[in-house]
Amino acid sequence: MAKLVRKVVRIDEERCDGCGDCVPSCAEGAIALVDGKARLAADVLCDGLGACLGECPQGAISIEEREAAAFDEAAVARHLGRAPAAPHAPAPAGCPGSTPRALPRRGLAVVSEPAGPAARAGGGALAHWPVQLRLVPAGAPFLAGADLLVAADCVPFAYPAFHADLLTGRAVVVGCPKLDDLPAYAEKLTSILRRPDGPVGVTVARMEVPCCAGIAAAVRHAAEHAGRDVPVREVVVGVDGTRRG
């Protein structure tokens, strides 16, 4: 593929702390987290416009001018798993997979009463997107004043009443303390809880297996370093699907 001198994103890996705030800002999906660091997935995916520049709290992203493959909209479409845009069609706004957005479903920012009959009947209670902790920006609007649920990845699968009993009325973030970068999770949660308008309380839901205790430890670390009073409660779910606590 022919190359030309053009503007592309440059990521300073020494400065990058792997928070992931930059990932949702790229409509082309050109930035990915690899081994705990943000990296440019491919030159052809970067349009060089720098929509991601203001999203890095560490200042690790800049624009450089260098020899690179030309930006390729067809490659972007393949990368994002969608059909190429028609000629002269406006470019889609925001990352299709992880742009923060509200969902038209039940749920207040703060829980005020137990789950209603509709939730118990099996209706979905997820009220925002994304939910993966790496992808949720610390400044996401749905976190303001929220009763936050921090759930280990396996909990929704093991606990049949997850939506009705734990998720209804709450904002949620999920992660795996065994397979993911736990220190990065602790830092992201600290940033979330430090917000003056941040969550008013946190429920952490984890599995009974010992390795899952790390997600509760990350939440407690964040609450201790938040600089404001954020109550934390813990729910443990057994592998048999029963709730404890």
Tell me: do 193 and 228 sit in the same domain: yes
| Cβ-contact 134, 36 below 8 angstroms | no
Residue 88 to residue 68: CA distance in whole angstroms: 24
Residue 47 to residue 116: CA distance in whole angstroms: 47
The answer to whether position 88 is within a domain reads: no
The answer to whether position 199 is within a domain reads: yes
Tell me: do 133 and 238 sit in the same domain: yes
The answer to whether position 121 is within a domain reads: yes
Q: How confident is the model at residue 116 (pLDDT cuts 50, 70, 90)?
A: very low
Tell me: do 160 and 189 sit in the same domain: yes
Tell me: do 137 and 198 sit in the same domain: yes
Residue 70 to residue 75: CA distance in whole angstroms: 11
| Cβ-contact 195, 137 below 8 angstroms | no
Q: What is the pTM of this model?
A: 0.57
Residue 38 to residue 136: CA distance in whole angstroms: 15
Tell me: do 149 and 76 sit in the same domain: no
| Cβ-contact 185, 136 below 8 angstroms | no
Domain count across the chain = 2
Instruction: Convert the pLDDT of each residue in 187-243 to its tens digit.
Output: 999 999 999 999 999 999 999 988 898 899 999 999 999 999 999 999 999 999 999
**Which residues sit opposite 236 in a β-bridge?**
206, 244
The answer to whether position 86 is within a domain reads: no
The answer to whether position 92 is within a domain reads: no
The answer to whether position 87 is within a domain reads: no
Tell me: do 20 and 72 sit in the same domain: yes
Q: How high is the mean pLDDT of the chain?
A: 83
What integer pLDDT is reported at residue 3 of this predicted model?
A: 81
Tell me: do 30 and 136 sit in the same domain: no
Backbone φ and ψ for 198, nearest 5 degrees, come out as: -75, -170
What is the span of the domain harbouring residue 19? Answer: 3-80
The answer to whether position 172 is within a domain reads: yes
CATH number at residue 54: 3.30.70.20
CATH number at residue 167: 3.40.1050
Residue 216 to residue 2: CA distance in whole angstroms: 51
Name the maximum alpha-carbon separation found in the chain.
Answer: 61
